[in-house]
Structures are given as C-alpha cells and as structure tokens.
Amino acid sequence: MSTAKKVALISGANKGIGLETARQLGKQGIIVLIGSRDLARGEAAAAALKNEGIDARAVKLDVVNPADIKTVKEKIEKEFGKLDILINNAGVMTEVMGSNSTSKTSEKTLRDTFETNLFAVVALTQALLPLVKKSDAGRIVNVSSILGSLTLHAAPNSPIAAVKTFAYDASKAALNAFTIHLADELKGTNIKVNSAHPGWVKTDLGTDAAPMEVVDGAKTEVALATLGADGPTGAYIHLGEALPW
C-alpha cells in the first residue's frame, strides 16, 4: 500500500521536543508516526495529537532494540510503502552537568551513551533508508547538540567552553560525523541529511533552567524535515544558521 501524503517517523516522540515536532509536522498534513519505547505512552501522545486533527499513530520503538527496528520497518513498508521523513530524535545524557570530569567518565557511561546516541541512530537509519529512497524528497534529521561542536569546545571563550560532558559531547560529535558521511554518500539523490541543534529547551533533559520553550525547540527539526529541493545537505543547523563542526 502507498499514500500520496508524506509520512514521518520520529523516535522518542511521546514527549518533549519529539512530540512537539510531531505536532508541527502533523499540522502541515504529514502523517506522523510516534516512536516510543513505551507503547502506551506513545498511544496517549498520538491520541492527544488526533484530538488536534493530526493523523498521528504510535509505534513501539526502543531504538536500541533490533526487533523493534525490524517491526517498525515492516509496518511502514506494509502500510505506506515509503518513508518521507526520518527524525532521529531519541537521545540520552547520563552525566551530570557541572565541572569537567572526563578522566572519571566510566566505560559503561560511554558505551550506554553511544549505544543510544550513535549506534541506534545508525542502525535505524540503515534499516529505513531503502524506504526513504522511495520518497520523492527524503529527509533525514539527526538531532544533535551544540555540545557536539569540537570547534566550539576547543575555543576557550565560546558559549559552551565551560560545559564538558565527555560521553554526551563525544556521542553527538560522532553523530555529526555520521551526518557528514551519509550526506556525502547520498549526494546527487533526492535525500537530504542534516544535523539539528534544537537549542537549550525546557524538557526533562534541558530542565526548567533552559531559556527556550519546546515549541521553539522543535522548529529546527521541522525546518530540516521539510526542506525544499534547494535546501542544504550535510549541514549542522540551529534555527536556520550553520554551526561550526
């Protein structure tokens, strides 16, 4: 089965920026698949969006579970025959913000962080890429962070100079490398691959101390997910502006 409507899958979309991204895409008439580790929470989020007139559907997606990835791929292929937008939104930070403790960062912390923030993104993207290739205008958005910028971390007077969370920062820098490499592989096709920095947003991860509201935090993901043919690929973007790698 296929549909003329665009179809978007957003991981980690039952709350926060992921949910708001789904809302903003759904209001543009895009079918949004709410990826959630907990299906019940995903269904509750989808139901809330449906009450706003959005075609939202929950899918169980624990991004570190290969069986979930396989099931989601099969579901999308059977129901839609293609995937127009993949937003790799799910991510974790297990470290505590504060003083630089790189020398004490455990191997477990590194492995757990990279498992979700990099390896799961690669696995999900590779699994779904054949469906994205069937889209007339495939868009892949990897949700990164300004904390993945090596250039800014190396600059002593940059806005993030004092924020050194090694495992998280390194995982997002690696995610940015995936964006660059995949975009290069797909250049000349109708697929665009970009990294998004949502900003410091009031979420469970960002806390209430963050200056940005969720509605604004979703704007970068939504913009990159709906880029026109003349839009960038292999870029690192925040609210329309390029960030240094």
Give yes or no: 108 in active site. Answer: no
Per DSSP, helices labelled H in the chain are: 16-26, 39-50, 66-79, 107-114, 120-132, 150-154, 166-185, 214-217, 219-225
Q: How far apart are CA 89 and CA 194, in angstroms?
A: 12
Cα–Cα dist 108/209, whole Å: 28
DSSP string, 179-200: HHHHHHHTTTSS-EEEEE---S
What are the respective helix, strand and coil percentages of the chain, to the nearest 5?
45, 15, 40
Catalytic member of 6, 60, 82, 172: 172
Look-up of token digits 């390194």: 170
The catalytic residue among 36, 144, 145, 195 is 145
Please check whether residue 193 is in contact with residue 186, taking contact to mean a CB–CB distance below 8 angstroms. yes
- Considering only CA atoms, which of 17, 16, 18 is closest in space to residue 8? 18
145 a catalytic residue:
yes
Any idea which residue has 């019940």 for tokens?
Answer: 40
Cβ–Cβ < 8 Å for 48, 25: no
Catalytic residues: 145, 172
